[in-house]
Amino acid sequence: MNSINRRSVLLAGLGVAGAGALAACSSGSGATPALVSPSGPAVAAAENKRKGTGRTRQVPLTAAAATLDLGGGVTARSWAFSGRTPGEEIRLSAGDTLSAELSNRLPDKTPTSIHWHGIALRNDMDGVPPVTQRAVRAGADYTYRFVTDAPGTYFFHPHVGVQLDRGLYAPLIVEDPDEPLSYDDEWVVVLDDWVDGVTGTPDEVLAELRHGMGGMDMDGMGDMSTKFMLMGAESELLGGDAGDVKYPYHLVNGRVSADPAVYRGKPGRRVRLRVVNAGGDTAYRVALGGHKLTITHTDGFPVRHEQVDALLIGMGERYDVLVTLDDGVFPLVALAEGKDATGMALVRTGSGGAPGTTVRPAELNGRILTASQLRAADEVRLPSRKVDRVHRVELTGGMGKYNWAINGEAFDMTDPAAHPLTVEEGQRVRLDFVNTTEMWHPMHLHGHTYQLGGHGPRKDTSIVLPKKKLSVVFDADNPGQWMLHCHNAYHAEAGMMTLVAYRS
Ligand SMILES: [Cu+2]
């Protein structure tokens, strides 16, 4: 049994039996400060301050094994919510309460959870076992119930192991009852790199990656050693190494390019695309052939509008764009950045044949703005104030030993509050990401929407390029214990995570 298998067993056991971190003050070194408990009064008080409509949206979600039809005769045995991937979209209005009833029917006694990615919600509903709840055991049910007060484009997925890289994800759209944008229609576009049930499982991918490049031959894995690992994926936009994992398919709305999802509209209509990257290890460069994209939001929050030809979207990021549809048939292409592969969907507003499955519209090489070049819309820009607390968040490790970590320390899910980055309610906090590694990392903070620099966009997931520094600020206004981690599913599971915890 290699180290990952031992650790998975340990984690599964913990999820079922223990929840040491649920206590206000975790065990471990005596220097550990007293932390706000996810189920304590500060969390309840923060929830009571959220403006609710009083309406509740009830959604059943069954996580189970499923044979998924990815189109073009491709099927994959995987895990999904209610038998489809992406799972059925959840849509509600800002202020509504979501009551999501998770039934864990996964095989092999697999524990699970749901994390509501990007939502600043009450801490005990954040879905991170064992930090904010006990893992939901196989055969058990659990109801997530919280107010969603910020409109935007979000999604949800488990926060246990590498389950995110199965089919367990779906969009979550919070509509603005006073929507300031004018558009005729919406199209939610979910991107995903797909391996599960085709060449192997995400757990097998992780096991291979964990052997690292250095140990490959010595471990006697022979040909197995490069079954999943991708070498030489290079991207200028991402500053070098683009990704570690070979994926047989890149899906747009759960379908392969040979049998794509089709959006049907009318010429001249203005459509809001809500683009979500639900991938495990792939950034996508996204363009709609023959069209310009006007960026209006990223990670749910509005930005000053910018017209571009293509977007770069890391795992966990979301972008909303407006397009005015032309007359004909157009490919929406998601180029797997640095991986020389694409996913595709079609926009059909008139007659015409479909483009080839490997088409690469010229827009992919046109004007691209990355998040650091965007500006927050005035109404969501954080007022300037003195920073009370600064944390240096060094991204460390590499492919050789597969020892991805933060500040040189691989996160230990069995003792999550061992070395938290502490903040206090009411503080203005700055996180200085310092990427010492040879690879980019999409860094995701739970429970908050930080701001890039002084005027940049409000976001919860940001690409940090290799050998670069990125500073983000947020107001500590949502007490609890929150994960801060790389949204590369494999980097995170290897240890590139830490805990941002409020002191009580
Ligand atoms: Cu990473």
Q: Is residue 375 domain-resident?
A: no
> Distance from the CA of 88 to the center of ligand 1, in angstroms?
28
> Distance from the CA of 49 to the center of ligand 1, in angstroms?
34
Q: What is the C-alpha to C-alpha distance for residues 252 and 65, in angstroms, rounded to an integer?
A: 21
Q: pLDDT by residue (tens digit) across 63-101? A: 999 999 999 999 999 999 999 999 999 999 999 999 999
Whether 247 and 175 map to the same domain: the answer is no
Backbone φ, ψ for residue 95 (5° rounding): 95, -15
**Among all chains, which residue has been given the structure tokens 């576009």?**
189
Whether 239 and 325 map to the same domain: the answer is yes
Sequence-distant (6+) residues with CB within 8 A of 222 are none
pLDDT the model gives residue 19: 39
- pLDDT band of residue 213 (cuts 50, 70, 90) is low
Q: What is the C-alpha to C-alpha distance for residues 67 and 138, in angstroms, rounded to an integer?
A: 19
Whether 167 and 203 map to the same domain: the answer is no
Residue type at 393? V
CATH number for position 435: 2.60.40.420
Q: pLDDT by residue (tens digit) across 127-169? A: 999 999 999 999 999 999 999 999 999 999 999 999 999 999 9
Whether 362 and 384 map to the same domain: the answer is no
Q: What is the C-alpha to C-alpha distance for residues 11 and 158, in angstroms, rounded to an integer?
A: 14
Backbone φ, ψ for residue 101 (5° rounding): -100, 100
> Distance from the CA of 338 to the center of ligand 1, in angstroms?
15
> Distance from the CA of 395 to the center of ligand 1, in angstroms?
8
Of the listed ranges 19-28, 116-125, 172-181, 315-324, the least confidently predicted one is 19-28
- pLDDT band of residue 226 (cuts 50, 70, 90) is confident
Whether 41 and 139 map to the same domain: the answer is yes
- pLDDT band of residue 212 (cuts 50, 70, 90) is confident
pLDDT the model gives residue 2: 37
> Distance from the CA of 423 to the center of ligand 1, in angstroms?
24
pLDDT the model gives residue 252: 98
pLDDT the model gives residue 205: 95
Whether 153 and 217 map to the same domain: the answer is no
Q: What is the C-alpha to C-alpha distance for residues 269 and 349, in angstroms, rounded to an integer?
A: 10
- pLDDT band of residue 365 (cuts 50, 70, 90) is very high
> Distance from the CA of 175 to the center of ligand 1, in angstroms?
31
> Distance from the CA of 437 to the center of ligand 1, in angstroms?
9
Angle at 255 between CA 264 and CA 171, to 5 degrees: 80
Whether 330 and 403 map to the same domain: the answer is no
Q: Is residue 374 domain-resident?
A: no
> Distance from the CA of 485 to the center of ligand 1, in angstroms?
8
Sign of the alpha-carbon torsion through 449, 452, 457, 460: negative
Instruction: Find, among 433, 229, 257, 436, the residue nearest to 334 by Cα.
Output: 257
> Distance from the CA of 487 to the center of ligand 1, in angstroms?
6
Q: What is the C-alpha to C-alpha distance for residues 42 and 36, in angstroms, rounded to an integer?
A: 7
Q: Domain end: 179, 208, 238, which one?
A: 179
> Distance from the CA of 483 to the center of ligand 1, in angstroms?
14
Pairing of strands 293-298, 301-308: antiparallel
Whether 364 and 494 map to the same domain: the answer is no
> Distance from the CA of 237 to the center of ligand 1, in angstroms?
16
Q: Is residue 187 domain-resident?
A: no
pLDDT the model gives residue 454: 86
> Distance from the CA of 441 to the center of ligand 1, in angstroms?
4
Q: Is the pLDDT of residue 7 over 50?
A: no
Whether 73 and 154 map to the same domain: the answer is yes
Q: pLDDT by residue (tens digit) across 393-420? A: 999 999 999 999 999 999 999 999 999 9
DSSP 97-144: EEEEEEEEE-STT--B--EEET----GGGS--TTTTS--B-TT-EEEE
> Distance from the CA of 492 to the center of ligand 1, in angstroms?
7
Rg (CA), the chain: 21
> Distance from the CA of 415 to the center of ligand 1, in angstroms?
21
Sequence-distant (6+) residues with CB within 8 A of 275 are 153, 189, 191, 286, 311, 313, 318, 319, 320, 321
Q: How many domains does the chain have?
A: 3
pLDDT the model gives residue 23: 41
Q: Is the pLDDT of residue 458 over 70?
A: yes
Grouping H, G, I as helix, E, B as strand and the rest as coil, residue 164 is: helix
> Distance from the CA of 210 to the center of ligand 1, in angstroms?
14
Whether 20 and 155 map to the same domain: the answer is yes
Q: pLDDT by residue (tens digit) across 252-269? A: 999 999 999 999 999 999
Q: Domain end: 130, 150, 179, which one?
A: 179
> Distance from the CA of 172 to the center of ligand 1, in angstroms?
24
Residue type at 388? D
Q: Is the pLDDT of residue 8 over 50?
A: no
For range 27-41, the mean pLDDT = 75
> Distance from the CA of 442 to the center of ligand 1, in angstroms?
6
> Distance from the CA of 396 to the center of ligand 1, in angstroms?
9
pLDDT the model gives residue 372: 94
> Distance from the CA of 243 to the center of ligand 1, in angstroms?
9
For range 7-35, the mean pLDDT = 47
Which range of residues forms the domain containing residue 363? 192-369
> Distance from the CA of 419 to the center of ligand 1, in angstroms?
20
> Distance from the CA of 90 to the center of ligand 1, in angstroms?
28
Grouping H, G, I as helix, E, B as strand and the rest as coil, residue 248 is: coil
> Distance from the CA of 62 to the center of ligand 1, in angstroms?
29
Whether 312 and 437 map to the same domain: the answer is no
Q: pLDDT by residue (tens digit) across 288-299? A: 999 999 999 999
> Distance from the CA of 433 to the center of ligand 1, in angstroms?
12
DSSP 345-357: EEEESS--PPPPT
% of the chain beyond a pLDDT of 90: 89
DSSP state of 409: B
Q: What is the C-alpha to C-alpha distance for residues 179 and 177, in angstroms, rounded to an integer?
A: 6
For range 464-484, the mean pLDDT = 98
Q: Is the pLDDT of residue 327 over 80?
A: yes
> Distance from the CA of 99 to the center of ligand 1, in angstroms?
32
Q: What is the C-alpha to C-alpha distance for residues 424 and 145, in angstroms, rounded to an integer?
A: 25
Q: Is the pLDDT of residue 29 over 70?
A: no
**Among all chains, which residue has been given the structure tokens 């819309």?**
377
Q: Is residue 185 domain-resident?
A: no
Q: Is residue 184 domain-resident?
A: no
For range 26-32, the mean pLDDT = 48
Whether 332 and 268 map to the same domain: the answer is yes
> Distance from the CA of 326 to the center of ligand 1, in angstroms?
38
> Distance from the CA of 486 to the center of ligand 1, in angstroms?
5
Q: Domain end: 369, 401, 423, which one?
A: 369
Angle at 424 between CA 420 and CA 427, to 5 degrees: 120
Average pLDDT, the chain: 92
